[in-house]
Structures are given as structure tokens and as C-alpha cells.
Amino acid sequence: MADNHTYARPYAEAAFERARETNRLDAWSEALRLGRDLLADGQVASFLANPRLTDEERFAFLTGLFRDAGGENCLFAGGDREGANFLRLLLEYERVSALPEMAELFEQMKAQVENTVDVTVKTAAPISDVQKQALVAALKKRLQREVRLAVEVDETLIGGAVIRAGDVVIDGSVRSRLERLSNALVA
């Protein structure tokens, strides 16, 4: 049986192409992110899986959730023809559960087109705005992309930082350095 990533890919690609054609990347991105967040609650997925519900009832339920969470202008709130058709298609082919993966794939495609990268930095202690700016500048130069930085404090780190930018991981933590030293001494 295929996983949700396999199911999600063609839908994410179709949504992305349509969003580019209509110059609505941000609207589609926001709607898919909202869908991911709504489905993170297992209760929503359980309700949608109820075999007694018709697709119309599921559609009304979903559009109501999107309207409540994202407002009337949300692409999936029911008022936008393309957004409504997309939701109906997901319901018809029982792919609503793949919305989180669709959102992830869509964001990857969007970042590539916009030449951006999301970077997460885990540090042992909070860093200043000046340090963040310096880090963004250095990463921008190294990765040749615009950088969107998120900083997390991880108290389990002894010191240093771990930087994740897509598939690139730069581990400058003291723990990692101590492990490398330990391995070198044992070898």
C-alpha cells in the first residue's frame, strides 16, 4: 500500500502549477498549510472517515472548518471555485488525509521557485538579533538562497548550534565535537 506522500505528490504538483498559472502561490500555500494544521487533530480525520457521511456533508464540514480557521477569503472556505473543486476532488478520491503531505510538497516547490530555504537553528541558549542577522548573512552566502530563519533553544545541547537547511545539517554543537573526540581517542 502506498503512503500519503505517494498519493500527495500529483495533487501538490497540480495545485502548484495552477497556483503559478494564476499567480496565487501564497493563497494556495496558506490554504494547504491550514489544511495540514486542521488535519493534525486526529478528531477531524476520524470524523471525515465516518462512512455515514456523504461527500457533500464532508465538504460542508471542511469548508466550515476552513472558514472558521482562515476566514471567508481562505481558498478552501467554499467561496473560491478552484479551491472548492480541489476539496471536492480530494473527497471524491479519499485523499483528504494526504493534505499535510501536500502542504509539505507544495512548500518545497514554492521555496525552489522563490529561491528560499527554511533554516532551523538549535542553540543551547537564546541568540541576539545581531547574531541572527550575521547567521542569516553567512547562510545566504553559503546556500546561495534567501534564508528564512527559525531559532529554537535546545537545553540538552552543551553549547554551540545545530543548523538544518533542507537536507543540509551543520552540527557545530559541543556534544557532537565531544563525540568525535571520543571516537578518535577510542580508534
Residues of the chain where predicted confidence (pLDDT) is lower than 50: 1
**What are the boundaries of each domain within the chain?**
4-111, 116-186
Cell of 159: 553549547
Distances (CA, A) of 103 to 50, 66, 67, 78, 81: 24, 15, 18, 19, 19
| Residue with grid cell 538544518, as numbered in its chain | 164
- The whole-number pLDDT of residue 62 equals 93
- The whole-number pLDDT of residue 187 equals 66
Q: Angle at which helices 4-21 and 99-114 pack, to 10 degrees?
A: 50
- The whole-number pLDDT of residue 1 equals 43
- The whole-number pLDDT of residue 172 equals 78
Question: What class has domain 4-111?
Answer: mainly alpha
8-state DSSP, 79: S
- Condensed to tens digits (0 to 9), the pLDDT of residues 63-107 reads 999 999 888 888 898 889 999 999 999 999 989 989 999 999 999
8-state DSSP, 54: -
- The rounded distance, in Å, linking the Cα atoms of 159 and 154 is 10
C-beta contacts of 60-65 below 8 A and 24+ residues apart: 62/87, 62/91, 62/96, 63/87, 65/38
